[in-house]
């Protein structure tokens, strides 16, 4: 059985089923398997609905927020966790990957931050699926 289904702090995506359909679980990861310390940053009733591996880091989506885990240093043992409530996302932009480039980029402009949060993906399909999901979640939070 998939680690995503057996981990008690994650669940099969209900609110984000559209991402599951678009990606077929191929780009998804169980972020708690990669970083068990992330569980300490979740609220008691909060679960990770979707997680994606970035080039070196990962991003997790809950019903309330985006959590970006940034591995730092040469060894990657030091982590920075950035929590972005959907209601604080002012706008975002997508920069797709050209054939000779290494990554595609999602820029998230957050109210209160001077520079946008930059998430690098290895392929355009994952980037565009995450952008579609983010559109849905940000618009729902603004309503």
pLDDT by residue (tens digit) across 52-87?
A: 877 668 888 988 999 998 877 777 677 789 999 999
- pLDDT at res. 104: 86
Domain that includes residue 114, residue range: 3-142
| CATH number, residue 101 | 2.30.29.50
Q: How far is CA 130 from CA 26, 74, 75, 107, in A?
A: 13, 28, 28, 12
* C-alpha span between 48 and 25 (Å, rounded): 14
Q: Is residue 21 predicted with pLDDT exceeding 50?
A: no
* C-alpha span between 143 and 59 (Å, rounded): 24
Q: Which helix (H) or strand (E) segment is 18 a member of?
A: helix 17-23
Q: Is residue 140 predicted with pLDDT exceeding 80?
A: yes
- pLDDT at res. 113: 93
Q: How far is CA 63 from CA 57, 102, 115, 118, in A?
A: 20, 31, 24, 21
Q: Three-state SS for 62?
A: coil
Q: How many structural domains compose the chain? A: 1
């Amino acid at each position: 059985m998939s680690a995503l289904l057996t981990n008690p702090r994650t669940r099969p995506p209900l609110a984000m089923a559209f991402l599951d359909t678009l990606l077929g679980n191929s780009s998804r990861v169980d972020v708690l398997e990669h970083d068990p310390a992330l569980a300490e940053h979740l609220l008691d009733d909060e679960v990770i609905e979707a997680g994606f591996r970035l080039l070196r880091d990962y991003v997790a989506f809950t019903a309330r927020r985006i959590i970006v885990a940034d591995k730092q240093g040469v060894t990657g043992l030091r982590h920075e966790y950035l929590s972005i409530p959907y209601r604080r996302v002012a706008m975002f932009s997508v920069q797709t990957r050209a054939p000779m480039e290494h990554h595609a980029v999602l820029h998230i402009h957050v109210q209160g931050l001077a520079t946008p949060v930059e998430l690098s993906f290895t392929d355009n399909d994952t980037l565009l699926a995450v952008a579609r999901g983010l559109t849905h979640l940000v618009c729902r939070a603004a309503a």
